[in-house]
Amino acid sequence: MKKTAIAAVIIVAAVFVAFLAYDGAVNKEYSSDFFVMNTYATAKLTGSKSKEAADEIRSLTETLDKGILSRTSENSVVSLLNVNGAGDAEKISDYLEILFDVCRKSGGAFDFTLGAVSDLWSFGSNPKLPDDSAIREALSHTGYEKLKLTENELVFGDKSAVIDFGAAGKGIALDEIKAVLFEKKIKQAVVSVGGSVLLMGDKEFTVGIRNPEGNSGSYIAKLHIPEGCVSTSGSYEQQFEANGRKYHHILDPETGYPVDNGLLSVTIISQSGILSDALSTACFVLGYEKGKALAEAYDCGVVFVADDKKIYAENGAENFIEITDDAYTLVMQ
């Protein structure tokens, strides 16, 4: 090899080594946790701007909650729509289109207009068993078909209807967070908002499926998966006891009462945060057979945990799952 060629090879190698060293030095890991959307959020980020990104994630989710999705924050987009029964929905129209689609494809098992009913149950604040007559009256003001999205205007056919993004808000947050992670060139991220997790990076991640009957730190299975979003809806998340019975926060839109179909949790794997969150709720309401078909229609992996300690992993989730609690059995179909 000529001297000049050897010199060129040495220079290229030196630059490469210097780049690796620089990249390693600036790829800092940064973790933060905070309370938002009535739940705990955590972010573990690796990249040169990991702290900046974590700070931005925190303020972004707070603004998304208070300014847009919250039903308790007086001037949020959702609160104004609920008070006025109509209005500018430009900031949420992309989400609404997706949620209307989930409502339709789930045959109404998912319905983001159940707000009047969930208000009666007061999950999240001071839960109580409502009067049956009050539930029936509130139910008459639900139904996604009564709402129309035209251009960017949402109009309620029933002015007493109340929209509630409780089943999809955490997933929406993950999609917004993803944009920040790209913008800040984050190399690897695990961000959770309540029961929804965003995994980003070129590696295999491990996500635990919670023991529905244990405390928040106990798991019955693990998912070993590439990047994406994972959301779980579980009856254990918010429940209370009245007259010797347990009541939880996932409601059957036909009855206005908590779903009682033998499921304890449903986990969805998707590239979309909003879909993972909305579909975990929808599939919980639909139960195993119909839920499996819905997850398939959206090309998402799904794991059902039933109260007889059987676990069903479908649409690809069977390739990722490892059962870690002997009391549970993976049912192979």
Q: Which residues would be at the binding site for Mg ion (CB under 5 A)?
A: 167, 233, 277, 280-281
Q: Which is nearer to ligand AMP, 49 or 71 (CB)?
A: 71
- DSSP result, 64-117: IIIIII-SSSTTSHHHHHHHHSEEE-GGGHHHHHHHHHHHHHTTTSS-TTBHHH
Which tokens hold the place of 164?
């509630």
How far apart CA 20 and CA 237 sit, in angstroms, is: 44
3-state helix, strand, coil in the chain (%, to 5): 40, 30, 35
112: partner contacted, choices ligand AMP, Mg ion, none (Cβ within 5-8 A by kind): ligand AMP
Binding flag, residue 291, ligand AMP (CB under 6 A): no
Instruction: Select from 135, 190, 209, 285 the one that contacts ligand AMP (CB under 6 A).
Output: 285
Cβ atoms of 123 and 238 within 8 Å: the answer is yes
Smallest gap from Cβ 110 to ligand AMP, in A, equals: 4
10 Å CB burial of residue 151 (0-12, 13-18, 19+) is exposed
- DSSP result, 244-276: TEEEES-B-TTTSSB--SSEEEEEEEES-HHHH
Locate tokens 């290229």: which residue? 12
- Listed in sequence order, the residues at least 6 apart from 119 whose beta carbon sits closer than 8 Å to its beta carbon are 138, 162
Residues of this chain, 213-252, that bind ligand AMP according to CB under 6 A: 233, 237, 249-251
173: partner contacted, choices Mg ion, ligand AMP, none (Cβ within 5-8 A by kind): none
Residues of this chain, 120-149, that bind ligand AMP according to CB under 6 A: 123
Instruction: Select from 120, 162, 167, 199 the one that contacts ligand AMP (CB under 6 A).
Output: 167
Instruction: Select from 82, 192, 265, 281 the one that contacts ligand AMP (CB under 6 A).
Output: 281
Q: Which stretch binds ligand AMP (CB under 6 A): 23-31, 126-134, 140-148, 162-170?
A: 162-170
Query: For residue 129, how far is the Cα from the chain centroid?
Result: 26
Instruction: Select from 53, 200, 225, 277 the one that contacts ligand AMP (CB under 6 A).
Output: 277
Q: Which stretch binds ligand AMP (CB under 6 A): 27-35, 104-112, 128-136, 215-223?
A: 104-112
147: partner contacted, choices Mg ion, ligand AMP, none (Cβ within 5-8 A by kind): none
Instruction: Select from 47, 130, 166, 273 the one that contacts ligand AMP (CB under 6 A).
Output: 166
Binding flag, residue 99, ligand AMP (CB under 6 A): no
Q: Which is nearer to Mg ion, 82 or 280 (CB)?
A: 280
Q: Please, what is the end-to-end C-alpha distance for the chain in angstroms?
A: 63
Number of other CB atoms surrounding residue 71 within 10 Å: 18
Smallest gap from Cβ 18 to Mg ion, in A, equals: 47
Locate tokens 């059902």: which residue? 304
Binding site for ligand AMP (CB under 6 A): 110-112, 114, 118, 123, 164, 166-167, 233, 237, 249-251, 253, 277, 280-281, 285
